[in-house]
Structures are given as structure tokens and as C-alpha cells.
Chains A and B, each alone.
Chain A
Amino acid sequence: ENLPFFITCLVVLKIIKHYQEEGQGSEVVQGVLLGLVVEDRLEITNCFPFPQHTEDDVDFDEVQYQMEMMRSLRHVNIDHLHVGWYQSTYYGSFVSRALLDSQFSYQHAIEESVVLIYDPIKTAQGSLCLKAYRLTPKLMEICKEKDFSPEALKKACIGYEHMLEEVPIVIKNSHLINVLLLDLQEKSTVADKPELLNLSSSNHLEKSLQLLMDRVDGMSQEIVKYNTYCRNLTKQQQQKQQYLQRRQQENTQRQSRGEPPLPEEDINKMFKPPQAPPRMDTLLIAGQVNNYCQNIKAFTSQNLGKLFMAEALQGHSS
């Protein structure tokens, strides 16, 4: 169902370059992906960055800038369909409300839109990490209705696993570029990649753990919130029940005395149910935690492999 989409080398390099130039540390860079839909298949052929702008220049109009940019690109015969956006990530933290909202609006406007997540840290470690995500149809529906109450989410049967779907990417180049790449490979002096074999892991793990912990804290808070809500709800229901019982008793008494029953009152008005906490945040946090865990798992298994390898090598040499 999820057909892989093609992405050109140009886009990848531009994204990387964008991050190198503007992003640093935990700062995130974003940009627009341009491309075409060819036979149900998305091809991303170009991109341009959102400019960094500070809070104080309010005059800056992002939409205006995008439109102009696209118009200009169109003049030089570049695909100008807005097919999504890209974002860099810091240790795999990208599942957030902001991403959800903007991806929803993209997908709402152009169904094929994707978000490309570029992880510069992993890339620096030696393997290019670029992933494409889309919101699942279920999540799209929920977002459309804007109802994040516990009941609605329960009805939709949505868990953190089903929020985003990853779309496979194929990096495809024109033949000319392929030729160039081969040519470059020949000339390349940097053959070995020491980063790949780097054994030190604690720094990366520490950072990840820190972020994970932060999210776990968030999750705890959400749960506490939900817990209080549940408690309030049951308490109130209990009161309601008692009230109804009393009422019924009174009515039977009245009936036995031959008096008319008490008038019906709007019971929901008297017992206004407490405001349910929106559950979307919890979902997002869960998704993010999941993400971190996957990252850590992947990283540690890789590292374990490396360690075993190193051990074996040492044993061999000694």
C-alpha cells in the first residue's frame, strides 16, 4: 500500500547543507519539499529552506515567502508542487503537537504530502538517517474532528503505534548524477569511516536518556491528570446515583399519598461532568517515548555488536 517514493540526491544534500549551515545543537531547521506526483507515486525533486527569522521581525510573512520562492523556482523550470516539508531532529525528538498540526494541514491540502525527518546526529555517526512520515488515515480523521477526548480516542481505537506511518524512501538519481558520483568515489581520499567504529557510547546514551526521562515525566503528569479526572467523574456519578435514588423514593412516597410526582429536572445540568483532559498529548508523548526507545535500542544493539567485534579483535591480536 505504501509505495516507496523517490527522492533525489539533490534534496538530501540540500537538507544536510541546510542543517550544517543553520542548525546547531537542539535547534531545528525546516523547509519545503517540492516535487511531482507521477502515477500514484511521489517524486521529490527539490526543496528550499524556511528562512530563520527572529521573533522581532513581525513583518515577515512566511506564506508570502513560500509563494514567491515557488514562483521563482517555477521560472527556472523546477517542479513546483508543494509535496511536503522536512525537519531536522535532535536525538529523534520530533513527535510533537506542532508537527502533528502542520502535517495535518499539509495532508489535508495535498493528500500525498509527507514530512521528511533528518537526523543529523545519526548521520554524523556514519549512516545517513532520513525518514519520511505521514499521518495515518485514522489520525487524519480524528484531527479533522478535533475531538481529543478519551472517549473519542477510544472509539477511534488509536494507539501511539498507529499515529504515524513511515513511508519507504528510495534515493534515485539521474544517470548523469550517478556517473558523477562514481567518478567522485574514485577520487575520494576519505575511504575509511572511523565514526562507524567509534566505541564510546555513553554521551549519546546519556542525552537520549535525558530526553526520555523528560518525556516520562510528562507522561506521568498526564496520567495524574487523567487519574484525577477519573476520580472526579466516579465521585460525581455516585452523587448522581444517590440523587436519583432519593428522587425515586420521594416519588414513590408521593404516589402512595396520591400527590403528583416531582417534575423532571435536567439531571445533566445539575451534575455537569468534569472537563476531560485531552488525550492527544498523552498519545504524542507515548509516540515520542516509543521513538526514543527504538532509537536507543537500535543504537545499543549496534554498539553491542561493535563491542563484541572489538573484543574479538583484541583476543585475536593478543
Chain B
Amino acid sequence: MSRFFATGSDSESEESSSADEITPKATGTTFNKQQALLLSDDEEDTKRVVRSAKDKRFEELTNIIKTIRNAMKIRDMSKCLEEFEQLCRAFLKSKTIVDKEGVPQFYVRLLADLEDYLNQLWEDKEGKKKMNKNNAKALSTLRQKIRKYNKDFETEITSYKENPEQSAEEEEKDDAGSASSSESDDDDDDGVTAKSLLKKKPQEEEKAPEANKFLKGAADEESESEDDEESEDWGSDSVDSGSESEDNEGAAASLAVVFLKKAQDGEKQTDRRKKHKKKERLEEEADEEGDGEEGGWEKVKGGVPLVKEKPKMFAKGTEINSAVVIKKLSEILQARGKKGTDRAAQIELFHALAGISNENNLGEGILVKIKFNIVSSLYDYNPNLAAFMKPEMWKKCLECIDELLDILFNNNNIFIGENIAEDSENLAISDQPFRVRGCILTLVERMDEEFTKVMQNTDPHSQEYVDNLKDEGRVCGIIDRLLQYLESKGSTEEVCRVFLRRIMHTYYKFDYKAHRRSLGLQGETKSEQDQEESEGEDSAVIMDRLCKFIYAKDRTDRIRTCAILCHIYHHALHSRWFQARDLMLMSHLQDNIQHADPPVQILYNRTMVQLGICAFRQGMIKDAHNALLDIQSSGRAKELLGQGLLMRNMQERNAEQEKIEKRRQVPFHMHINLELLECVYLVSAMLLEIPYMAAHEFDARRRMISKQFHHQLRVGERQPLLGPPESMREHVVAASKAMKMGDWKTCHSFIINEKMNSKVWDLFPEAQRVQEMLVRKIQEESLRTYLFTYSSVYDSISMKTLSEMFELDLPTVHSIISKMIINEELMASLDQPTQTVVMHRTEPTSLQNMALQLAEKLGGLVENNERVFDLKQGVYGGYFNRDQKGGYQQKQSYQRAPDQRGGYQQRQGYQRDHKGGYQQKQNYQRGGYRTQNQSSY
């Protein structure tokens, strides 16, 4: 018995338990029973004692108090101090309970006693001298501490001191009862305490073998137990559980399971239900007569599979009609969601029921109802939200939903909906149409989520993943059918929801069929085209139709946002850049996406990335760079796209958060290739940054277009030994270096070669076209870079030479140079007759640049110097009027300082003319300043 009380002393609790002996019968509520059963059910786990929070806390307190009192007795001050601090902490922890119950007497008593005791010790000079150093130190600390601490309990302590006897009495009572666990005072009202539990135990143990007996017993014994049931709760319980294990859960043969299950059936209602069921069973067994005994025996012993059980769902003689089946159904449903219900068995039961109703032609209404329940119990199978369905479950689920849809399609007279109340259901065959409660849309949505979960939890590089992915077709099929169904029957909101599901399964897929068609349009004969067209709509058309419906009809922002994003994504994926861009700009999503929930934000990120890649394919380098900048500059592209968790911030998030984040991950087949993404970004950054760098070589305030790109360059520079590039990044860096020199051929060979092709470029659907675009861009930008870098060494250069150098045709060269001249990037003019570029040499040389920089810096220096002077001036002014105004003036002088910054420019001009001007001006200012101050004063 004592093993239930690992912490407390047992002798007292035994005493008190015997005193409370009467209570179990009196308070033998179902609640108590439950406790007892819980305990008996896992006897190994003896340490688990159910106590109220109050008991636990107070026990802790009393334990500490006890140690303190002991320490007081032996004058161990340091121990006392230590324990007191612990006590304070413990008290703080039990604050909520104290707030409810008031400060416990024993606590106040200790505080008062301890203070008195300490004061006494303090007065005792002699004794103090004898104390060792540690103790003396602890004494003074403790005395100070308790003084401070007791201030909070002043009223309680004074009231205690006024009549210490009463309190002491109470305390003693308390002590007696609660030295171990201090729960005796609330035993009566709660009835859940450990002691009452203790009493249960032996009884329970007595009952257990009895139950066993019952289990083995035959049907006639059960009738006896039936009587028991009425008279005594206890008996009925064990009997009940025994009989039930035979009843519907052959598998659950072990006693522990029986009890475990029983524990959940505490409520009277279920009891009643069970009785009812038992009656049914009794009838059935009466029919079977002699067989009953043996059958019962076998079932329990061997955990007979359910197949044998199935026909026994209903008594042989019963006429199976819809009412009976519905009743049965609701019976099974009752157990749903309760702890200990065997979920697998429940699913089987539903299936069996479905079979029966099918056999007996009870009508589609019931069938639909049962199917609904099968699917939802399949979903319920995993209690944990993070866990995913087992493959067989998943298959079953798909089948079931498919069948359900079959029924719905075949029978036009079935109305389903969440809003149909349970009691207004019409399941039986009659003239009226069927009315079934349930929402097929929710089921399908849940199925879709389960599919995502399955995909998330499968290793993307395994065959299993491929197998699972094959189910995607079925999922899509189901969604499609549901879409058809709801389009005719559902409300607009439902249609929007199912449309979004459809969109979600479409937007990320590249429509190869349409792509091929658009490519081979001319080559193919007309008949072939027609044939192909009849195969199905283009995904673009579907997307357009679905999205537009949602734009028009949706009233929740979320669905519309998702639809827009998917639409943009789909456009971008199929290189319809302008549509995608316009949609993005028109939606104004960029402004308020930060308010959306994380999954939508992930979708947004995916869309932006896809948009950027699309822009790149179209040769809109700048747009591509801008679209990708946000994602790439953070360095967390993987995380932002929901394609994996970063390892580095493990300590930042806890396990809970990690689980949530894992749930947000996008399944592998929807991933965007990160290397491709980075490569696209870096190449576009290169195409922008290298000419820019060349143009602003001497600019002191040059801004970086792409930090990421510069970082890569720096990494490249830091290499002690530069070998041929290996990775994608190294390729880009090497290409950048070549481009810096205007060497487009080398640049080209670094960007487009076999390695890069296999890594990046071949992944585009129109690889060839993209490569051509890229080459051209490289040529153009190299030309620009060349002109920026080397224009200073040319007086003039023939455009023909340039066009040969960069293998661009003359008009292109001409247009590029013209653009540069117009933008004032290149100080030159074109000489038309000779087709040459004549440099004007107006750009400052590096020396001049340097001098300009120096001038700027000197300006700054003078400015700083001025400030020092201004400060002096302020103090100076303040000195004059110090007595009157003090601080105000100085403050003003600070404020004025920035104003005078601008003043320098003017003064500088002035200074140039007259050498003494500066000084004069200062004098003037000083005077003016003072007068101004005075006037303001």
C-alpha cells in the first residue's frame, strides 16, 4: 500500500484510511469507481497518485516546514536559511491555491515562530558568540529576510499571535491529518484523494478474479450478473466489462484492456447503453442455446477475429430494418472518441454495418450515413495531428469516398449537409428524398490534407514516394467529381472551397500537353489537333475559369488570396509573364501579405520566386532580380519556401514550434529547385551588378545592387588557390570576373556549359530559348562593361570593331551605345559617317575623383569642427546669462547646431573673397545670436 505514497509516511495514512472506511460505499459514485479502475488497470505504475494540486503544494510546504523546525531545534541556522528560501519559493509556486484558499495556518504559524525564535537567538549575545561563523552569518541574513518577508503577512501573524492556541489546535489537527499528505481536511468533499483510492484497491483486487470468473462463465451466469448490476454498482461494472469483451471486442481479451475501456465508460448513459446491448446479445445467445457457452469461451480466450463476430451484430431473429441499423450505428458512434475504444475495430464494425444494410437493401440514405462515419472514423484513427495515415487506411479512405460519391451521383434524391439536424434526418426509404447529415466537402478537404501529410512524411527519394504520388491522380479525380457534384448542388461558398482545392492541385503542374501543342501548332495536321484538344482542357483554361469564379464569388479573403497567388504562379510557370505580373500588381498583395497566415505567406513566396524565374526566362533581368531579391537576400530561401527547416536556429524554437513548422512544409513534388533559384538570382545580379560596378568604379557612395552577389564575389576572392569552378556559385563568380574584363566569351563559357546545363538550364521547359537569351544578355552587358571600363583609354572606337568583338550586329551595338549616351552613362558622341564612338573625356580621372572625395571629406571635417565651435559659442552665450537662464540656452544651442550645417556652404563662398570674413561673420553671428536669445527670452 505504501507504494502509492512514495513521499509520505504511511502509518498515519493507514490510520486515516481506516477511519474513512465508510465512505466508499456512501460516496461510491461513478467518479470514484473510475479512479479505482484506473489504478488497478496498470498496477505496475504504482507511483502515480492522484492528488489535488492543493494537496501536493501543501505537502511540499509542510515537508519544508518540518525540516525548518528540526533545524531550529538543533540551531542549525544555515540549514534554516536554506530551507526558508526553499519554502518561500514553494509558497510562491502555490500562489494560485493560496489565493483561493487563503494563507494556510501552518504557514503563518511557522513564520511567527521563526521570527520569534530568531529574535530570541539574536538577543542571546552569549549564544551568538558561541556560534560558528557560518551560522552567525546565516542568522543575521535570515533575520533580515524574515523581517522583510513577514511584512506581507502582518495581519495573519498578528491574528495568530492574538490567539495562538486556537491556531495551534487547528494546526495540530492539520498535522495529524496531513503530516504525510495533508489532505484529510478536504477528503470529505472531494472524495478523490489518495486515501479513498487506497480503500478502493483491495476491493478492486477482490473483484478482479471475480471478473475473470465471469469471463469464463457461461450465459446463465451473465443473467445473474444482470441482477447484480441493478443492485450494486461495483459488481455490475466488472461483469459488464467482462461481458462486453465478449460482446464486440474479441480482440481485446486481456483483463487490463477491459478495465481500461471500462474506465472511459464512467457515465451512466453509456452504462445504460451497454445494458441495452447486452439484452440484445442475450436474446441472440438464447437462440444459439448450447453453442453460447463454448462460443463465449473461445472468443475471449483466443481473441477471436471479428469476422466471426460479424453476423452476430444483430440477433438472428431480428428483422433488420433501418431503425435497428440506425440504432446500432448510434451505439457504435457513442464509443467514438473515447479513450480505449479500439478505433480499428470500430472501423470494422462500420464496414460490417454497411455490409448488412447493403444486404438488406435498406436504402442509400443509411449507406451514405454509414460511409460518412467510416471516413470520419478513418480520420480519427490517428489521435495525433502530426501522424499520418497508414497506407492501407489511406487506400480505404480513398475507396470509401469514391463509393460515397458514386452513391451521391447515382441518387439525385439525397440531400446532404452540415446544417441538417440529427433529428430531421431522413434515412429510411420513403417518398421523401433522403436527408443525411454530413459534409462531403469537409471529408474531401480532410482527405486532401491527409494526402499532403502522407507526402510530407514519406522520404522523397524513395520508391514509396513515387507510389504515394500515384494516388495524386485519384485525389484529383475525387476532387473533380466533388466539384461536379457541388457545382450542381452546393452553395457558392462550398463551390469556392472545392474550386480552391482543385486549383491547389493544378497550379504547380506544368502543362506539357498545352506546351507541346503550342510549339507544334504549325506542324501538326488539323485532325490531330482536334483530337488532342478533345483530350481535355488546357490547365490554363481551367485555372482561368476556376479563379475567375472565385474572384467573383468568394467572400472570404483567404480563398481569393490563395486563388490569385496560384493563378499568378500558374501564369508564371507557363511563361505568361505579363499576365502574371499584372495580376500581381493589381492584387496589391505585396502590400498586405505580411498580415496573412504562414501557409499563405509561403504560397506568396513561392509565387514571387516563380514570377522571378519567369521574368528571367523572358529576359527581364531586372524584374527577375527584384522579384527574387527578398527571398534570396535573407539567406533562408529554403525556410521561406517551406521546403525544409534550417538547422541553425534549433535553440530558438522549441519542439512544439518545430512540429508546427514541419506541418507547413510543402511536399517534395511541389518544390522549387533551390539551386536553380539561386543560379537565376546570381546570374541576374551579375548581369546588373557588373556593368554598374564598372560605371561607378570611383564613386564613393556606390550602392550595392545585390549584397548576396557581392558576398559570393568576396568568397571567391578569399580562395587562396583558384581552380576551375566546380559548383554553380563558383561558375557564376568566375563568369563575373570574366565579364568585369569585358571578356564575354569566357563569361559565356562559364555560364553555359555542360555542368551548368545539367544543373540548371536544362530544367527549364524551353532550355534552348533561355540559353540564347542568356548569351545575348551576356554579350550586351559585357559590351557595356567594356565601354565603362576602357572608355578612358580610347579617343574613339569604331562600332564595327565593337560589333565584331562582341559578336553583336551593328544596330544592336548602336542602340546600346545610344542608350548609354542618353542616360549620361557614357560621355561620348556617335559619329555617323564613320560609324565611330568619339569619347569626350569628361569623366573625371581617378585623381580627380580622389580629389573630389577628399573635398567631401574635408567638408565633413570642417562641419565637425564647426560643431565644436558652436558648442563653445553656446556655452559662451550661456556664460553671459547663466544666472538667469542656465539650461534653456544650452539646449537651444544644440538645436541650432544642425541648422548651421547648411550655413557653412554660404560662408565658404564668402570666405573666399575676404580672408577675414569668416571671423567677422562669426562675430556677427555671436552678437546676433545673443540678441536673438534675449528677444526670445
Contact = CB atoms under 8 A, between A and B. Distances in A.
Interface of A: 202, 205-206, 209-210, 212-213, 216-217, 219-220, 223-224, 226-227, 230-231, 234-235, 238, 241-242, 245
B421 interface: no
A212 B854 contact: yes
26 contacts: A202-B847, A205-B847, A206-B846, A209-B850, A209-B854, A210-B850, A212-B854, A213-B850, A213-B853, A213-B854, A213-B857, A216-B858, A217-B857, A219-B861, A220-B857, A220-B864, A224-B864, A227-B867, A231-B871, A234-B874, A238-B886, A238-B890, A241-B882, A241-B886, A241-B887, A242-B887
Nearest to B850: A209
Interface magnitude class on chain B: 20 to 34
B860 interface: yes
Given A216-B858, A238-B887, A227 B864 contact: yes
A235 B887 CA distance: 8
Contacts of A234: 871, 874-875, 890
Contact of A216 (B846, B854, B867, B890): B854
B868 interface: yes
Interface residues of A, dominant DSSP: helix
A220 B65 CA distance: 67
A216 B847 contact: no
Contacts of A212: 854
B845 A202 contact: yes
A18 B875 CA distance: 55
Contacts of A209: 847, 850-851, 854
B212 interface: no
B868 A216 contact: no
Nearest to B864: A223
Nearest to A226: B868
Interface in B616-630: none
B865 interface: yes
Please name the 5 residue pairs, one residue from A and one from B, whose CB atoms are nearest each other, closest first.
Answer: A223-B864, A202-B847, A209-B850, A220-B861, A216-B857
Interface in B882-920: 882, 886-887, 890, 894
Interface in B170-211: none
Contacts of B882: 241
Nearest to B874: A234
Interface residues of B, dominant DSSP: helix
A235 B894 CA distance: 11
A219 B887 CA distance: 30
B429 to A, nearest CB: 92
A198 to B, nearest CB: 16
Contacts of B857: 213, 216-217, 220
Interface in B840-856: 845-847, 850-851, 853-854
Nearest to A222: B864
A205 B894 CA distance: 39
Contact of B861 (A205, A206, A216, A238): A216
B25 to A, nearest CB: 79
Nearest to A212: B854
B842 to A, nearest CB: 17
B856 to A, nearest CB: 10
Q: Pick the most buried of A205, A227, A241: most chain B CB atoms within 10 A of its CB.
A: A227
A304 to B, nearest CB: 15
Contacts of A245: 886
A220 B860 contact: yes
B871 A242 contact: no
Given A205-B847, A241-B886, A230 B854 contact: no
Interface string B384-411: 0000000000000000000000000000
Interface string B470-504: 00000000000000000000000000000000000
Contacts of A242: 886-887
A293 to B, nearest CB: 11
Contacts of B875: 234
B483 to A, nearest CB: 69
A227 B846 contact: no
A209 B854 CA distance: 7
A145 to B, nearest CB: 25
B880 to A, nearest CB: 14
Contacts of A227: 864, 867-868, 871
Given A210-B850, A216-B854, 18 more contacts: A202-B845, A206-B847, A209-B847, A209-B851, A209-B854, A216-B861, A217-B857, A220-B864, A223-B861, A227-B864, A227-B871, A230-B871, A234-B875, A235-B890, A241-B882, A241-B886, A242-B887, A245-B886
Contacts of B851: 209
Interface in B818-851: 845-847, 850-851
Contacts of B861: 216, 219-220, 223
Interface string B728-756: 00000000000000000000000000000
Interface in B565-610: none
